[in-house]
Amino acid sequence: MLAGIKVLELEGLAPVPHCGLLLADLGAQVTVISKDDNQYPEQRLIRGKARESIDLKTKEGVLKLREMCRTSDVLLDPYRPGILEKMELDPISLLSEVNKGLVICRLTGYGQTGDMSKEAGHDINYVSITGGNGCVIDSSMVEGLAYLGSFVSQYQDLSMLWTDPYAMFSGMSPVYRTYETSDGKYVAVGALEPKFNGNLLQGKKFREKLDLKCFFSSKLRFNPSRYLQ
């Protein structure tokens, strides 16, 4: 279906690699741009893709990517708003100076503009913020189910996500769940990365630093109550 379409996928976490995987499965020629050939954060989503080692923190790397954009059809951007611009890969410049036919897909949590555009998040945060308001949605399950299922299937064997004590999607993970607040409302917490759960713990009355390994491993027992006074 997409034979002959050239896609450049800038290395990132799950959302963009998943998009690249779907395009590759449909026949597109997908090339992952990463700094190190030996490391790719989403090994389960590399199927059918080529890889190119380019350090985009160097001027030479940026120039090389711009040249690749000249003969490509799609650029998948996994970064937060403003990052491409700081790297001298401004989409407007790419379209006007390099390839006016290039389709640049910028995938962020809350969009390129708005009050929350700079904020980080995970699925639990995105789901929580979209609920609560009435609307009309016309959606075909047939059209979307195959794509959603293909993503879940890539990770179905990871016990840390589903079956381990305090698994991420079990509703018991202390840093990936919803909590009822004192005023009867709810807050969704998706602080998986150390820099985010560190901010979460700072200012709270915790007895010790939270060790994520405790609930990401079935070999270790984790009791979240011991972290709270």
pLDDT in tens, 10-48: 998 888 999 999 999 999 999 999 887 666 666 778 889
Return the beta strands (E) in 29-185 as ranges: 29-34, 49-53, 74-77, 103-106, 176-180
For the chain, which domains are there?
A: 6-106 (3.40.50.10540), 160-227 (no CATH)
Rg of the chain on CA atoms, in Å: 20
Average pLDDT, integer, range 129-148: 71
- What gap in Å lies between CA 158 and CA 1, rounded to an integer? 32
The confidence score (pLDDT) of residue 229 equals: 37
| 70 Cβ contact list (under 8 Å, min separation 6) | 98, 99
The confidence score (pLDDT) of residue 216 equals: 44
Q: Identify the weakest region by mean pLDDT among 81-85, 135-139, 190-194, 204-208.
A: 204-208
pTM of the shown model: 0.61
Which residues is 9 bridged to in the sheet? 32, 76
- Statement: residue 221 has pLDDT above 60: no
pLDDT in tens, 190-208: 888 777 777 777 755 554 5
The confidence score (pLDDT) of residue 224 equals: 46
What is the DSSP pairing of strand 176-180 with strand 186-190? Answer: antiparallel
DSSP structure class, residue 228: B
52-57: long-range pairs with CB below 8 Å, 24+: 56/10, 56/87, 56/89, 57/87
- Chain-centre distance for alpha carbon 57: 21
